[in-house]
């Protein structure tokens, strides 16, 4: 896995017993560049990373004999090395393979290695070498060709029918010296050829020898070749296959694999609205496409661990997948990257890019928000404890540069529809969020002095924001655009007596915007929660189910199988077609419709908070989540003028249900009226709301 290699390296353990043969055995290793030796030039400057060097490895082969004794074979200067048929490999661009350079049997005991060179010994990239304790990246799903179009004898375009991250496997026969190019992309030009213009914008090639998202294969002419890249992945739906000699391809010649960190699914929704179900599926496709041992922004153009994208989608990730080990690893990357003054870059890991002037609270709040959410969803405080000093150092830095409680340290509401929000307002809100989390963590860990200090600081920031930006007469924040009204509700800044009025003003603003979104990434994180948690669930659902521009559904009805980077499908820039920064909606389905929330006082779903919303636009909705104690189920179905609500709570946990009762409706169990808010133990329940 990719880390800040000069500060931390991961080792992987394998059981190779099944590979052993009677008699002599040989070990062969094929090395690729990965992120360690990044040669392709791009704006992120990974080619100038301080750790960069030629690939290297070390190995211990531990042999435990039947009598209990053991022996370790260690890689050393008795090993030999040679160049392989992989003549170029770049995590950013592609892999070049020349089958003519294959050395048959190179990794077997009888191979003649007299022409091989001795290895060069060198020190480890860092002194911090630890076990890679996270789910591995795998080719998880095989995706067959949907259509293949032949332009001529040397040009084909393959459509896999959906966008995803991964690789292609090619099976092909041709004469020696045939050069085949596999160009992977998300879009087609008007001519039907693959168009990379939306994703190659940050690539700075020195020449044409290393094309973007393109594998280059040279055939040996010795029968059928099966090629699949080993040291690269792409983001794509289409593959353009071109060759310098005539080639025969069919649907069986090429197969794709959806590659990502192989995290187990933990969540499922279903509803009476096919658009909602499809949107949930597409959101998960984007989430997994951007999970490669750390969360990325996109699997093609950058592959960067943008901090904002990571925490905007954290609840979508945790409701739907068991991703704790990925986040534990990524927060260790955060600790590796944090400067002594507390500052973090806005891409992590980084080779040095990202310590600019915009890497502020709205993005690098990952340091606080992700450990806190892991604590809420798993009831596990280890990551919060491991990150505590980093959160404190980061908060102390922001406090130092923001003595009045307000800060402009941030990037702002990225890629809005039309209205912009105050940078000071949005950055200060996330500053408040981080300080609140730090205060809560201090209380959990018994750090009384810290708790008092940061709780007081949180109150100071809240007061400063409300003094400057809240009009208590009109119940409107700042200029009153959707993001500025949503964020205070989402993050707990609104005085109790104004919450209902502010939520109503937000709903009115959405109505004035013709029931469409007018937010960027910060507003997209907040708006649905702000509405559904404050009495405006009907408006939240209408936004979530909207299918005209601008909306999530607009992407889906236009053929999207993943989430996009821009509300405008025809935008001239910022238009990756597999992006996760607008991905909060995948978690909101569980919260805003299913009503499933963790309980801050009894985390890890020891007590489940249930606040379902029986919105009028749906006939039925079901949400399930496998928490630490087992499966939680919250489902409802509309029947005539009644709603039947079914709940299942796993053993050794409890739940608190708040029914959405309005217009004189009441809740009943077995014909007996129950209170609006009730507490239940583990088991299966059915309620009737009428």
Phi-psi map region of 535: left, alpha, beta (phi>0 left; psi -120 to 50 alpha): left
**C-alpha to C-alpha distance for 533 and 673, rounded to whole angstroms:** 24
**C-alpha to C-alpha distance for 325 and 554, rounded to whole angstroms:** 34
Phi-psi map region of 342: left, alpha, beta (phi>0 left; psi -120 to 50 alpha): left
Domains and CATH numbers, the chain: 138-261 (2.60.120.260), 609-689 (2.60.420.10)
**C-alpha to C-alpha distance for 156 and 148, rounded to whole angstroms:** 7
Task: Examine the pLDDT at 390 and tell me if it is beyond 90.
Answer: yes
Count CA atoms closer than 13 A to 616's CA, side-chain side. 6
Q: Mean pLDDT across the stretch 39-60?
A: 94
> Residue 287: its pLDDT value, please?
98
Q: Mean pLDDT across the stretch 526-540?
A: 98
* DSSP E strand stretches across 376-447: none
Q: What is the number of helices (H) and of strands (E) in the chain? A: 15, 29
Give residue-wise pLDDT tens across range 563-577: 999 999 999 888 999
In 470-520, where does DSSP find H-type helix? 482-491, 499-512
Does the pTM surpass 0.95? The reply is yes
Which has the closest alpha carbon to 546: 567, 576, 526, 522? 567
Task: Examine the pLDDT at 663 and tell me if it is beyond 90.
Answer: no
Task: Examine the pLDDT at 640 and tell me if it is beyond 90.
Answer: no
Task: Output the average pLDDT for the chain.
Answer: 97
CA separation, residue 477 to residues 141, 361, 427, 552 (Å): 47, 19, 14, 25
**C-alpha to C-alpha distance for 468 and 103, rounded to whole angstroms:** 71
**C-alpha to C-alpha distance for 93 and 113, rounded to whole angstroms:** 32
SS3 for 614-641 is CCCCCCEEEEEEEECCEEEEEEEEEECC
- φ, ψ of residue 366 to 5 degrees: the values are -50, -40
Query: Is there a contact between 353 and 45 (Cβ–Cβ < 8 Å)?
Result: yes
**C-alpha to C-alpha distance for 97 and 158, rounded to whole angstroms:** 21
CA angle 78, 80, 83 (to 5 degrees): 165
Which has the closest alpha carbon to 417: 574, 557, 550? 550
Task: Examine the pLDDT at 626 and tell me if it is beyond 90.
Answer: yes
Query: Is there a contact between 309 and 580 (Cβ–Cβ < 8 Å)?
Result: yes
Query: Is there a contact between 647 and 684 (Cβ–Cβ < 8 Å)?
Result: yes
Residue 472, judged by CB atoms within 10 A of its CB (0-12, 13-18, 19+), counts as: exposed
**C-alpha to C-alpha distance for 621 and 589, rounded to whole angstroms:** 9
> Residue 145: its pLDDT value, please?
98
**Tokens read off for 174:** 């041709």
Give every CB contact of residue 21 below 8 A, 6+ residues apart in sequence.
none
**Tokens read off for 577:** 């077609």
Percent helix, strand and coil across the chain, each rounded to 5? 30, 25, 45
Q: Mean pLDDT across the stretch 587-616?
A: 98
pLDDT band at 10 (very low <50, low <70, confident <90, very high): very high
Q: Mean pLDDT across the stretch 589-595?
A: 98
Task: Examine the pLDDT at 349 and tell me if it is beyond 90.
Answer: yes
Which has the closest alpha carbon to 237: 558, 571, 553, 562? 562
* DSSP H or E stretch at residue 217: strand 214-218
455 SS3 class: helix
Query: Is there a contact between 161 and 236 (Cβ–Cβ < 8 Å)?
Result: no
> Residue 240: its pLDDT value, please?
98
Instruction: Count CB neighbours of 273 within 10 A.
Output: 18
Give residue-wise pLDDT tens across range 492-519: 999 999 999 999 999 999 999 999 999 9
**Tokens read off for 228:** 């699949």
Chain-centre distance of CA 104, in angstroms? 40
Which has the closest alpha carbon to 367: 340, 346, 341? 346
Task: Examine the pLDDT at 589 and tell me if it is beyond 90.
Answer: yes
**Tokens read off for 470:** 């809240």
Report CA torsion sign: 157, 160, 162, 168: negative
């Amino acid at each position: 896995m990719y880390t800040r290699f000069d500060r931390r390296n991961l080792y992987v353990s394998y059981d190779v017993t099944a590979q052993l043969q009677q008699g002599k055995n040989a070990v062969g290793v094929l090395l690729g560049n990965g992120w360690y030796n990044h040669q392709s030039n791009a704006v992120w400057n990974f080619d100038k990373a301080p750790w960069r060097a030629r690939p290297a490895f070390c190995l211990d082969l531990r042999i435990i004999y039947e009598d209990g004794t053991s022996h370790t074979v260690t890689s050393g200067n008795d090993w030999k090395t040679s160049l392989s048929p992989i003549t170029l490999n770049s995590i950013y661009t592609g892999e070049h393979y020349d089958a003519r350079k294959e050395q048959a049997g190179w990794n077997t005991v009888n191979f003649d290695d007299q022409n091989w060179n001795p290895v060069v010994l060198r020190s480890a990239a860092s002194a911090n070498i630890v076990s890679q304790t996270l789910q591995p990246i795998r080719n998880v799903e095989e995706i067959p060709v949907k259509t293949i179009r032949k332009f001529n004898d040397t040009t084909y375009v393959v459509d896999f029918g959906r966008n995803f991250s991964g690789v292609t496997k090619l099976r092909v026969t041709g004469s020696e010296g045939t050069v085949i190019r596999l160009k992977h992309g998300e879009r087609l030009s008007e001519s039907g050829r693959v168009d990379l213009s939306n994703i190659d914008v940050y690539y700075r090639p020195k020449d044409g020898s290393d094309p973007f998202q393109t594998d280059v294969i040279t055939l040996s002419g010795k029968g059928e070749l099966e090629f699949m890249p080993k040291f690269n992945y792409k983001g794509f739906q289409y593959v353009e296959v071109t060759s310098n000699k005539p080639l025969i391809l069919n649907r069986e010649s090429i197969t794709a694999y959806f590659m990502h960190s192989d995290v187990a699914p933990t969540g499922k929704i279903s509803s009476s609205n096919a658009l909602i179900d499809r949107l949930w599926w597409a959101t998960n496709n984007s989430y997994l496409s951007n999970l490669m041992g750390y969360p990325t922004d996109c699997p093609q153009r950058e592959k960067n661990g943008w901090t904002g994208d990571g925490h905007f989608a954290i609840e979508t990730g945790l409701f739907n997948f068991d991703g704790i080990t990925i986040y534990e690893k990524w927060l260790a990357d955060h600790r590796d990257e944090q400067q002594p003054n507390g500052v973090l870059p806005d891409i992590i890991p980084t080779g040095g890019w990202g310590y600019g002037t915009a890497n502020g609270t709205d993005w690098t709040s990952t340091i606080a928000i992700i450990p806190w959410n892991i604590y809420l969803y798993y009831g596990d405080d280890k990551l919060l404890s491991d990150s505590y000093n980093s959160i404190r150092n980061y908060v102390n830095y922001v406090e130092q540069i923001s003595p009045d409680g307000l800060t402009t340290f941030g990037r702002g509401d990225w890629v809005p529809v039309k209205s912009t929000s105050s940078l000071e307002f949005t950055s200060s809100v996330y500053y408040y969020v981080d300080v609140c989390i730090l205060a809560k963590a201090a209380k959990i860990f018994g750090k009384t002095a810290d708790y008092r200090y940061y709780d007081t600081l949180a109150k100071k920031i809240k007061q400063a924001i409300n003094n400057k930006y809240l009009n208590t007469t009109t119940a409107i924040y700042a200029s009153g655009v959707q993001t500025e009204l949503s964020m205070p509700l989402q993050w707990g800044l609104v005085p109790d007596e104004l919450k209902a009025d502010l939520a109503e003003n937000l709903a009115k603003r959405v109505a004035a915007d013709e029931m469409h979104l007018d937010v960027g990434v910060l507003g997209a994180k907040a708006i649905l929660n702000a509405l559904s948690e404050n009495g405006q669930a009907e408006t939240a659902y209408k936004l979530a189910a909207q299918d005209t521009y601008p909306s999530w559904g607009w992407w889906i009805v236009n053929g999207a199988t993943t989430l996009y980077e821009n509300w405008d499908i025809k935008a001239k820039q910022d238009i990756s077609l597999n992006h996760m920064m607008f991905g909060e909606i995948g978690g909101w389905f569980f919260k805003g419709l299913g009503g499933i929330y963790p309980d801050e006082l009894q985390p890890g779903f020891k007590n489940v908070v249930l606040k379902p919303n029986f919105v009028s636009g749906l006939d039925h909705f079901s949400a399930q989540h496998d928490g630490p104690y087992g499966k939680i189920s919250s489902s409802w179905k509309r029947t005539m003028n009644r709603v039947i609500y079914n709940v299942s709570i796993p053993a050794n946990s409890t739940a608190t249900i708040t029914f959405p009762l309005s217009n004189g409706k009441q809740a009943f169990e077995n014909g007996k009226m129950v209170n609006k808010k009730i507490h239940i133990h583990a088991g299966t329940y059915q309620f009737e709301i009428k």
